[in-house]
C-alpha cells in the first residue's frame, strides 16, 4: 500500500508542479471542480483561505460561495473563465492586490464631543430613504417597551422642566446648571435652562432649584444659624454709605458694591468678582462677567434689571485667561447676585459633591453680596414689549434705570428722567417665579446693598456675617457713611415682599421643615404631572 500511495503522489505532483491535497476526482468535465490558479501571491484575507482548504472548494449554492455570490465576507466576481475571484475593495483595507501589507491609518478620537463618523450634521439621521420623514420618538416609548417604573426617589430634568421652566416659574438663577454633576444642562437662546445631553436622574437640579426642590426659607436658617432670633441672617450692623470718588456718577446710588469689590481686589482678598455687564449686542441686557481689575469694576458699575444666570457661569475654565496663575483651589472670588442666587450658592457649598465644570468655581466663592430685590424682569418683555413697543423708549436712548418707592424710573444719557411709572404696571414683564420669593434683603448673603432706606446718592448696606464685616473694614476708608437712615422702610418692603410670597406660594412656608422638597410633594401642591417623561414630555 505504501508503494501505491507513492505512485499516486508522484502522478499528482506532475500536474504543472502544483499540489492540491484531497481534491476529488470527477468523470464529468461539466461538473469538474474548478481549482483556482495560484501565482504565489498571499491570500487577501482569512476568508480567502477558507475557499480552498480542507480538500473542498464549493460550487455556487444558496449557502456557499461561487462565481456570483459569496456569503463568507469576501467580495467576489466572475473572471473571463467564469471563476470566482476577489475584487478590489474586498478584505482588509491595508492589503493591496498583491497581498502586500501597507501602513495603517488611524482616525484620532474626538475630545469633549461625540465622534463624527460620517462628516454629517450630528442631529441628522443617516440612511433615511428619500421622501421618508421620521419623527424622533418621545421618551414615552420607554414605557411601551418595558414595564419598569421610574423609582420615586429619582427626579429627572424633565420634572424640573415640567414643574418650573415650562410653567414660567424659572427665575434664571442658574443653580440647576451649576448643580448638574454631568454638565448635562446648558442655557438656551431664550435664556432658560435646557438639557444638552443625557440626564442621569441624579435629582440635583431639582433639589437645588429655589422654585423646585430647595425650601429656600430653610436655607436662610441654616446659613444664618439656628440661634438667630428670626431664623435668618440677622443684621450685625446697617449703614447708609457712599463712595467718595468721581467715578460714582455712573454707579447705582452710592457705588458701595463697586467700591467694596475694588477694595477687596486691592487688598488681595479676592482674585475676581462675578458681576453683571451689559451685552455688546443688546443694550441693557445683562450678562455674567468676571471682573479682575478696578477699571473693569468701574466700567460695569450700575444695575440692569434682568438675570444673568450667574451660577451657570462658575466654570472657571471660561475665565482662565483672566485669572492669576494659581491652582483652582487657591482662587478666591466674590459673587454679586440677587437673593435667590445667593440662596443657591449657599446650598451648593453646603455639600461636597462633584459639580463637574462648576466645582472649583463654587468652592472659590468666599464673599457674597446680595442686591435688594422685589422682582426681576424678562429682558425681552421689559425692554422690547413694555418700554419700546408700548412706550416708545428705545433701549439705545436709556442711560440709567432705577426701581425706587414703587416706581420704575428711566433716565436718558444726560441724566434727564424720561419715564416714572408705577412698577405694578410692568407686572407682565416680571419673572413669574419672583412672586414666590419672600427674600427681599438677601438673608443668606454676607452683605446686602440697595437703595431703600437711604437718601439719594447713598446706598443702604446691611452686614450679616463676619465675612461681610471684613469686607466693610477694607472699604471703610473710601466711604462717607452713617447709621441707616430709615430702617422701617426696609422692614416695610420686606414685609410686603413676604405677603406677596405667601399669596403666591402653593406649598407651605416653613423654615423648620426639611431643606429639600420631594417632587411628589411638590406635584401634590402644584398639580404637576408625575413622571412627565413617560407622558411624552
- pLDDT number for residue 217: 94
| pLDDT of 263 higher than 60 | yes
- pLDDT number for residue 49: 45
Helix segments in 105-215, DSSP class H: 141-145, 157-160, 175-179, 204-207
> What percentage of the chain has pLDDT greater than the value 70?
73
Give 98-138 pLDDT, tens digit per residue: 778 777 777 777 777 666 666 766 666 677 788 877 765 55
Q: Confidence class of residue 275 from pLDDT cuts 50, 70 and 90?
A: very high
Give which of 186, 327, 223, 337 is closest to 273, Cα–Cα: 337
- The stretch 351-363 carries a mean pLDDT of 93
For domain 150-215+514-537, give its CATH number from 3.30.70.20, 1.10.3720.10, 3.30.200.20, 3.40.190.10: 3.30.70.20
| pLDDT of 467 higher than 70 | yes
- pLDDT number for residue 503: 95
Most confident of 135-144, 299-308, 348-357: 348-357
Give 136-166 pLDDT, tens digit per residue: 555 555 555 556 565 667 899 999 999 999 9
* Range scoring the smallest mean pLDDT among 45-49, 346-350, 417-421, 451-455: 45-49
Give which of 371, 271, 350 is closest to 316, Cα–Cα: 271
- pLDDT number for residue 3: 45
Query: Cα–Cα distance between 182 and 198 in angstroms, integer?
Result: 9
Q: Provide the mean pLDDT of the chain.
A: 82
Give which of 440, 408, 405 is closest to 426, Cα–Cα: 408
Residue 112, Cβ neighbours under 10 Å: how many?
4
Q: Confidence class of residue 454 from pLDDT cuts 50, 70 and 90?
A: very high
* Range scoring the smallest mean pLDDT among 57-66, 280-289, 436-445: 57-66
| pLDDT of 44 higher than 70 | no
Residue 254 or 458, more confident: 458
**Secondary structure of 410-434 as H, E, C letters:** EECCCCCEEEEEEHHHHHHHECHHH
Q: Confidence class of residue 302 from pLDDT cuts 50, 70 and 90?
A: confident
* Residue ranges covered by each domain of the chain: 26-87, 150-215+514-537, 219-376+431-506
Residue 231, Cβ neighbours under 10 Å: how many?
18
Give 5-21 pLDDT, tens digit per residue: 444 444 444 445 555 55
Query: Cα–Cα distance between 471 and 370 in angstroms, integer?
Result: 13
- pLDDT number for residue 149: 62
Q: Is residue 315 a contact partner of residue 176, using CB atoms and an 8 Å limit?
A: no
Q: Burial, 379: exposed, middle or buried (Cβ in 10 Å; 0-12, 13-18, 19+)?
A: buried
- pLDDT number for residue 386: 94
- pLDDT number for residue 58: 44
- pLDDT number for residue 111: 77
The alpha carbon of 515 is separated from its chain's Cα centroid by a whole number of angstroms, namely 24
Amino acid at each position: 500500500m505504501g508503494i501505491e500511495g507513492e505512485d499516486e503522489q508522484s502522478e499528482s505532483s506532475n500536474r504543472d508542479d502544483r499540489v492540491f491535497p484531497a481534491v476529488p476526482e470527477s468523470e464529468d468535465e461539466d461538473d469538474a471542480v474548478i481549482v483556482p490558479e495560484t501565482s504565489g501571491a498571499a491570500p487577501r484575507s482569512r476568508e480567502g483561505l477558507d475557499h480552498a482548504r480542507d480538500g473542498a472548494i464549493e460550487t455556487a449554492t444558496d449557502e456557499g460561495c461561487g462565481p456570483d455570490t459569496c456569503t463568507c465576507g469576501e467580495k467576489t466576481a466572475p473572471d473571463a473563465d467564469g471563476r470566482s475571484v476577489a475584487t478590489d475593495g474586498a478584505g482588509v483595507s491595508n492589503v493591496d492586490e498583491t497581498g502586500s501589507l501597507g501602513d495603517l491609518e488611524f482616525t484620532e478620537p474626538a475630545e469633549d464631543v461625540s465622534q463624527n463618523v460620517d462628516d454629517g450634521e450630528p442631529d441628522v439621521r443617516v440612511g433615511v430613504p428619500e421622501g421618508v420623514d421620521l419623527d424622533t420618538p418621545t421618551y414615552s416609548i420607554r414605557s411601551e417597551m418595558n414595564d419598569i417604573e421610574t423609582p420615586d426617589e429619582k427626579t429627572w430634568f424633565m420634572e424640573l422642566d415640567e414643574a418650573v421652566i415650562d410653567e414660567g416659574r424659572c427665575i434664571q438663577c442658574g443653580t440647576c446648571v451649576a448643580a448638574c454633576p454631568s454638565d448635562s444642562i446648558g442655557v438656551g437662546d431664550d435664556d432658560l435652562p435646557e438639557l444638552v445631553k443625557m440626564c442621569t436622574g441624579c435629582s440635583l437640579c431639582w433639589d437645588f432649584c429655589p422654585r423646585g426642590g430647595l425650601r429656600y426659607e430653610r436655607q436662610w436658617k441654616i446659613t444664618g444659624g439656628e440661634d438667630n432670633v428670626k431664623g435668618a441672617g440677622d443684621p450685625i450692623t446697617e449703614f447708609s454709605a457712599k463712595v467718595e470718588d468721581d467715578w460714582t456718577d455712573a454707579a447705582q446710588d452710592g457705588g458701595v458694591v463697586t467700591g467694596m469689590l475694588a477694595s477687596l481686589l486691592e487688598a488681595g482678598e479676592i482674585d475676581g468678582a462675578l458681576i453683571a455687564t451689559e451685552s455688546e449686542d443688546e443694550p441693557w441686557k445683562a450678562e455674567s462677567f468676571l471682573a479682575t481689575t478696578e477699571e473693569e469694576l468701574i466700567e460695569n458699575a450700575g444695575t440692569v434689571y434682568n438675570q444673568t444666570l450667574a451660577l451657570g457661569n462658575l466654570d472657571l475654565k471660561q475665565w482662565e485667561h483672566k485669572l492669576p496663575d494659581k491652582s483652582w483651589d487657591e482662587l478666591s472670588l466674590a459673587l454679586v447676585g440677587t437673593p435667590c442666587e445667593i440662596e443657591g450658592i449657599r446650598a451648593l457649598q453646603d455639600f461636597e459633591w462633584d459639580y463637574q465644570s462648576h466645582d472649583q468655581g463654587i468652592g472659590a466663592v468666599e464673599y457674597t453680596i446680595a442686591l435688594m430685590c422685589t422682582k426681576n424682569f424678562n429682558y425681552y418683555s421689559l425692554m422690547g414689549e413694555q418700554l419700546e413697543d408700548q412706550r416708545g423708549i428705545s433701549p439705545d436712548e436709556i442711560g440709567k434705570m432705577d426701581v425706587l418707592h414703587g416706581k420704575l424710573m428711566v433716565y436718558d444719557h444726560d441724566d434727564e428722567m424720561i419715564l416714572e411709572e408705577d412698577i405694578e404696571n410692568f407686572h407682565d414683564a416680571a419673572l413669574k417665579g419672583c412672586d414666590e420669593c419672600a427674600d427681599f434683603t438677601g438673608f443668606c448673603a454676607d452683605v446686602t446693598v440697595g437703595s431703600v432706606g437711604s437718601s439719594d446718592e447713598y446706598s443702604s448696606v446691611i452686614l450679616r456675617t463676619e465675612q461681610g464685616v471684613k469686607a466693610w473694614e477694607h472699604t471703610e476708608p473710601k466711604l462717607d457713611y452713617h447709621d441707616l437712615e430709615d430702617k422701617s422702610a426696609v422692614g416695610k418692603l420686606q414685609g410686603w415682599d413676604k405677603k406677596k410670597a405667601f399669596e403666591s406660594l402653593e406649598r407651605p412656608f416653613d423654615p423648620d421643615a426639611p431643606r429639600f422638597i420631594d417632587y411628589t410633594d411638590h406635584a401634590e401642591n402644584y398639580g404637576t404631572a408625575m413622571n412627565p417623561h413617560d407622558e411624552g414630555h
